[in-house]
Structure 1
Amino acid sequence: MIFHDWPWRHWRDLRPQAVAIRLGDETLNWQTLCERVDALASGFAAQGVQCGDGVMLRACNHPRTLLAWLALMQCGARILPVNPQLPDTLLRQLLPSMTLRHALDLADESEFAELSRLEMGVFSGSYAVPWDAHRLTSMTLTSGSTGLPKAAVHTPDAHLASAAGVLSLIPFAAQDDWLLSLPLYHVSGQGILWRWLLAGARLTVREKIPLQQALQGCTHASLVPTQLWRLLNDNVSVALKAVLLGGAAIPVELTELARTRGIRSWCGYGLTEFASTVCAKEADGLPDVGRALPGREVKIVDGEVWLRASSMAAGYWREGRLVPLVNADGWFATCDRGVLQGERLTIPGRMDNLFFSGGEGIQPEEVERIIAAHPQVRQVFIVPKEDAEFGHRSVAVVDLQEGYPSSALAEWCRDKLASFQQPIRWLALPEHLAQGGIKISRRALQHWVATV
């Protein structure tokens, strides 16, 4: 679909009274949603936000966050969404290179003297810059393994291309409702937003409440396996019919159990630089991540996955300019190991996750896939821990079904893993690192393991 106006205005003109969004306990149609966005955009413009300005949006998922995001886009802003848990010291290192003018902080009262602080003021009238699908609109921080995060910059056109690819695989109609289960500072949260706008369907945004409550009335959700396990094991009554799973190896027992409850499960492979999902499939228990979605290209060069796509970022933002992310051949080299069998891509693991134990190379993702096949395993991570004799040893961090002992899992793995792959310790996944369903940071896990 090609939009000639802001997507929410497009749907207002076509179906003004159709339900567009649920903000907490409040339901808005497209007409009312546009009125709210217009008022906020007028307020931001009155505070000096101009087309092309960089704005830091520091917020958790909340109805106000979603409205602010749409209004800032309607002002033509270049939005940098920031996790409120990022320490101010890190932000102060990052901000100078981001070329920002304003900050909208909905999480606390932090002050950044170099930025003009915005308020959620509501003004009369309707303010909007012209719709431009090629304008730079989002700056999403990557979770690079070394150094400061980089900001991948996307246009609406790239976000819509990402959404179109996913919706070519997962049915999402006007009467369907996708829960914004991931924050907008994460590229997967932005993916949900743009799928909603492309489909003209429904979106649900709630404050932080238990997942089973947040899902009431929702047909679609983006979850990690642990969340789906808990929903199914607790026999929670939900209207879900489609789930996009990510963040870990996905046990076939989980997707089969979901299928018996009328829930279809999809999984895939995505990157911040490509506005979320690149390859996907309906979960089938096989180790591949599916085929490239429409508008994406994949090839393997010296064992590494190279990508290009219509959803690719315009570049990384640095000191007021775009730094290209493609190599001399015009492709993005991912640092992911890859194997193509026909059109289906398998990702054995990250090249930078590989570690050595007693001279033997261990690819954590390969070991995780074997352990995740156990029906009592919800989620598992293999983490290296420094060792004076071996260099590193494997530690398993697992989320197990309640009551199942890790000692039994260790015994089950005896004949399934090589001796050098066997974890020397089995630790329970700590709740504080699960981050409410967001992809778990391997770096954070490694730091935690080093302290226990």
Structure 2
Amino acid sequence: MHVPLTTADFCYRARTVHAERLGAIDEAGFSGELGRLTYGELMLRCDGMVRALDRMGIAPGDRIAIISPNATKLLIALYATTGTGRILVPINFRLTAEEAQYIVEDSGASLLLVDPELDERLASVTGPRRIVLDGEADAELFAPADDALEWAPVAEEAPATINYTSGTTAAPKGVILTHRSHWLNATAVGWGFGLAEGDRYLHTLPIFHVNGWGLPLACAALGVPQIIQREVRGPEILRRVDDEAITLLCGAAPVAATIEQAAQALRAAGRPVPGDGTTRMVSGGAPTPAAVIEQFEHATGWEMIHAYGLTETGPVLTANRVLPSEGLSPRDRAERLAAAGAPLLGVRLAVDEEGEVLARTAKAMDGYWNKLDVSEAAIRDGWFITGDGGTFEDGVLRITDRKKDVIVTGGENVSSLQVEAVLYQHPDIVDAAIIGVPHERWGETPKALVVLRHGATFDEQAIIAHCKQHLAGFKCPTSVEQRDDLPRTATGKVQKFVLRQPYWP
């Protein structure tokens, strides 16, 4: 008997096994919020949305675009849309109106849903039908059904979502992820992150970003309460961890940084840090240097887990967890955790002769939406070409750099990640990026762009001297600039092409 693997499986288990458990807690105080819902109540609202979509004539295979910060309605849209064969297109709410409009049009969305706090800024973004999620215009769409609805079967190879890449180098591409991809990723991630029925999950990771890495589905299957965080602010995150007994959250390096700073402030005031000894955080989106991991774990008392992947690979490929019971020193723990980690179940990894990481997994994308030629170019002999340089030894993957970010100075290759890891060891630096800039003799030379801790004094020569203590001379920055912040994508990746532009006419 062949039964397809679909996102509806996670919803069915949530409503059947965990109906009485707390399902979601919306952040209070914004227009259209839904308060606290059990999984049973959450799934009845999914049924209500399915019936409303039927009445609107939006059929399986149609695309529904949604632009929203984290919200319970975004969870409902993910469950109800994909579970019944429609295709969800989650859009980065930080994009400009022009960028968002491109995605709506490129995906051919039949319906556009917009968070009320974004309505004015994105007023020019339109679709065949546009609904604001303010609790009034969308009342019919999110009203709970009177009774449970039997969802029609969906093929596992059918598209479930189209997730647009962050566009670090060019226009975003729509990555088609099937039901099979979602099912396998959510299962593998649940195991890899140690998700269990006793956990309580805080949505600090944007749900629009590759569907919250699969945690919304994994949590539903296990009856794990999902607490919504709309905006990333360290003190507020710590408050929610305390109030809701949070045991797990995910995010990129900037999220970890704001939590660390808030935790340091609490300790300086002689107050305990919520979650000390009980909370774990998964860091992903961009490699996290060992120094940052060590500082984070020391300040918070939390356990950090490292993950690596790409939108095209479903997305998570590896997880790196070093259990406290292993008894390593904080520095040795951090060095181990800085690696991308071991492949998740169903993932195979390799490194080609040029040092580029290749991945093979059953949960990888079905291709790029409307871009068959680009889809074929991304696959070589059944392996996805990641664009990352790395090593894979003894079952552990280490990322050395994005191929396009390697600096070639005087014929020598310099890994920007290696130099950045040294910069993060400097006590005054909280964020850093290394780029190549033109040089008459060497072709290009490393340049450091740094963000300092509050109250620190910028000293270019001292930063260069710090690097020379740890690196060969040709790898060290020949100049350093102070910045207030660094441009990043929603996934936490520094947009180095933006940083390079002023230096390369």
Q: TM-score normalised by the shorter chain: which range applies?
A: 0.7 to 0.9
8 Å Cα contact 2:407-2:444 kept in structure 1? yes
Moved over 6 A (4+): 1-4, 319-322
Match of 1:13 in 2: 16
1:245 to 272, 283, 288: 283
Equivalence map 1:98-247=2 (5 Å): 98-106=107-115, 107-108=118-119, 109-111=122-124, 115-118=128-131, 120-122=138-140, 123=143, 125=145, 129-132=151-154, 133-187=156-210, 189-208=212-231, 210-214=233-237, 215-216=240-241, 217=244, 218-223=246-251, 224=253, 225-235=256-266, 237-239=273-275, 241-246=279-284, 247=286
Note the C-alpha offset of 1:304: 1.5
1:62 to 49, 71, 86: 71
1:216-274 CA-to-partner distances (Å, cap 9, x unmatched) read 32211113242342243123632351111132433347437626854211113211112
Note the C-alpha offset of 1:318: 0.7
Distance 1:62 1:439, change over 3 A: farther
Question: Within 2, Cα distance between the matches of 1:326 and 1:145?
Answer: 16
Q: CA RMSD in A?
A: 3.2
Match of 1:371 in 2: 423
Q: TM-score, normalised by structure 1?
A: 0.87
Match of 2:309 in 1: 270
Alignment-mate amino acid for residue 237 of structure 1: V
Distance 1:95 1:59, change over 3 A: same
Distance 1:450 1:86, change over 3 A: farther
Match of 1:385 in 2: 437
Alignment-mate amino acid for residue 217 of structure 2: W
Residue 433 of structure 1: SS of its match in structure 2? Answer: coil
8 Å Cα contact 2:23-2:220 kept in structure 1? no
Match of 2:407 in 1: 355
Match of 1:316 in 2: 368
8 Å Cα contact 1:165-1:294 kept in structure 2? yes
The 10-residue stretch of structure 1 (174-183 or 317-326) with the greater mean CA deviation from structure 2: 317-326
Question: Within 2, Cα distance between the matches of 1:64 and 1:182?
Answer: 16
Note the C-alpha offset of 1:428: 4.0
The 10-residue stretch of structure 1 (428-437 or 222-231) with the greater mean CA deviation from structure 2: 428-437
Note the C-alpha offset of 1:35: 2.0
The 10-residue stretch of structure 1 (17-26 or 393-402) with the greater mean CA deviation from structure 2: 393-402
Distance 1:15 1:90, change over 3 A: closer
8 Å Cα contact 1:98-1:319 kept in structure 2? no
Distance 1:172 1:91, change over 3 A: closer
The 10-residue stretch of structure 1 (170-179 or 429-438) with the greater mean CA deviation from structure 2: 429-438
Q: TM-score, normalised by structure 2?
A: 0.79
Note the C-alpha offset of 1:343: 1.2
Distance 1:174 1:399, change over 3 A: farther
The 10-residue stretch of structure 1 (260-269 or 118-127) with the greater mean CA deviation from structure 2: 118-127
Aligned length in residues? 450
Note the C-alpha offset of 1:309: 0.9
2:54 to 23, 45, 48: 45
8 Å Cα contact 2:273-2:300 kept in structure 1? no
Unpaired segments ≥5 residues, structure 1: none
8 Å Cα contact 1:249-1:379 kept in structure 2? no
Alignment-mate amino acid for residue 152 of structure 2: P
Alignment-mate amino acid for residue 433 of structure 1: P
Note the C-alpha offset of 1:152: 1.1
Question: Within 2, Cα distance between the matches of 1:72 and 1:329?
Answer: 34
The 10-residue stretch of structure 1 (22-31 or 61-70) with the greater mean CA deviation from structure 2: 61-70
Structure 1 vs Structure 2: percent identity of aligned residues?
A: 20
Distance 1:145 1:27, change over 3 A: closer
Question: Within 2, Cα distance between the matches of 1:78 and 1:248?
Answer: 31
Equivalence map 1:268-307=2 (5 Å): 268-282=307-321, 284=333, 285-286=335-336, 287-302=338-353, 303-307=355-359
Matched, 1:438 2:492: yes
Distance 1:437 1:305, change over 3 A: closer
Note the C-alpha offset of 1:324: 4.8
8 Å Cα contact 1:72-1:79 kept in structure 2? yes
8 Å Cα contact 2:69-2:206 kept in structure 1? yes
Distance 1:321 1:74, change over 3 A: farther
Question: Within 2, Cα distance between the matches of 1:437 and 1:291?
Answer: 21
Structure with greater helix share of residues = 2
Matched, 1:22 2:44: no
Question: Within 1, Cα distance between the matches of 2:124 and 2:51?
Answer: 24
Distance 1:304 1:213, change over 3 A: same
Alignment-mate amino acid for residue 65 of structure 1: L
Distance 1:39 1:320, change over 3 A: farther
1:423 to 452, 477, 498: 477
Distance 1:435 1:351, change over 3 A: closer
The 10-residue stretch of structure 1 (246-255 or 27-36) with the greater mean CA deviation from structure 2: 246-255
Question: Within 2, Cα distance between the matches of 1:414 and 1:208?
Answer: 39
Alignment-mate amino acid for residue 392 of structure 1: E
Unpaired segments ≥5 residues, structure 2: 29-34, 133-137, 267-271, 323-332
